[in-house]
Structure 1
Amino acid sequence: MGITTISSRDFNQDTSGAKKASKGGPVIITDRGKPSHVLLSIEEYQRLTGSLPSIVELLAMPGANDIEFEPQPARINTKPADLS
């Protein structure tokens, strides 16, 4: 995994290049020669933070429509209200 360093100006001019570079490792973005931001792939970010994708992210995944999902109806035992 390599680290790429680019200036904020280069980042603004070639965002797609920075995104491609982030697949191979972190991209450090500099401002006036000093590191100011780090661009990571979402997979690397999730690995570092230990976070799992949300249900919304999972449902938005390509191919999610092909997954069969039939939840069982909820069974809630209730008592009638005592209105006396």
Structure 2
Amino acid sequence: MSAREFSRDVSAAKREAHHGPVTITDRGKPAFVLLTIEDYRRLGETGEDMLKRLSMEDDIDVEFEPLQLSLKVPEL
């Protein structure tokens, strides 16, 4: 939902938030997310800091080593 649409019809955004998070865009890029209070509280159930949970730090393997490829151009 664009920021303009959100400004014109906040009630529609609130209704949609009951079905899941509503992303509000600004100039075509995600800028905000509207959640129900239940969804917001569920995000904090583990007691972790919200920023830490959203950072995806645990999803990145810092010991990643890309495969070495050896490519040869066929002779004609």
Counterpart Cα distance in 2 of 1:35 and 1:49: 22
What's the TM-score once normalised by structure 1's chain length?
Answer: 0.53
Give ranges in structure 2 of 5+ residues lacking alignment. Answer: 47-76
Could you list the structure 1 runs, at least 4 aligned residues long, displaced by more than 3 angstroms after superposition: none
Partner of 2:36: 41
% identical aligned pairs:
54
Alignment: residue pair count = 46
For residue 50 of structure 1, give the secondary structure of its aligned residue in structure 2. Answer: coil
Rg larger for: 1
Q: Offset at 1:34?
A: 0.2
Provide the alpha-carbon RMSD of the alignment: 1.2
Q: 1:50 corresponds to which letter in structure 2?
A: E
Query: 1:34-80: per-residue Cα shift (whole Å, max 9, x none)?
Result: 000000000000001128xxxxxxxxxxxxxxxxxxxxxxxxxxxxx
For residue 24 of structure 1, give the secondary structure of its aligned residue in structure 2. Answer: coil
For residue 19 of structure 2, give the secondary structure of its aligned residue in structure 1. Answer: coil
Counterpart Cα distance in 2 of 1:49 and 1:20: 22
Q: 1:21 corresponds to which letter in structure 2?
A: E
